[in-house]
Amino acid sequence: MRIDNNMMSGMDTLEQTSRKKNVEKVSANDKQNSSVVESDEVSISEKGKDVSEMTRTLKEMPDVRADKVADLKERIANGTYNISGKDIASKIINTALEDVF
C-alpha cells in the first residue's frame, strides 16, 4: 500500500492533536470558571504619578543645552574664554572623588 500526501491531509499530526486537546481542556476550564467574574484594579500613588510626570518632563528636555554651547563657542572664538588650571584640576579631582564615594 502506498501512502501519499492526499491520504495524510485528513489526518492530524501528533502536534495538532496535542494542541486540540489543550484547547479543549482550556475551554472546559473556562466554562467551569465562567460563573466567577473577577476584575483587576490598579492604583498609582501620588508619588508614582509625580515620578511619571518628572520622567516625562526629563524626556522632553534636550540632551544638549544649545544656549550654553553657543555661548562657549562664541567666547572661545573671541578669545574671552579663560579658565584657570587650578579650576580644571579641582573639577577633575572632585569628579574622581564623586565616583569613588
pLDDT tens, position by position, for the chain (101 residues)? 455 555 555 555 555 655 665 555 555 555 555 556 678 888 889 999 999 999 999 999 888 889 999 999 999 999 999 889 999 999 999 999 987 77
- As a whole number of angstroms, the distance between CA 43 and CA 39 comes to 13
pLDDT computed for residue 51 by the predictor: 93
- As a whole number of angstroms, the distance between CA 39 and CA 97 comes to 52
pLDDT computed for residue 5 by the predictor: 54
pLDDT computed for residue 20 by the predictor: 60
> pTM score, two decimals?
0.34
User: Domain-by-domain residue ranges, the chain?
Assistant: 47-100
Could you give the count of Cα atoms lying within 13 Å of 42 in the half-sphere of its Cβ?
3
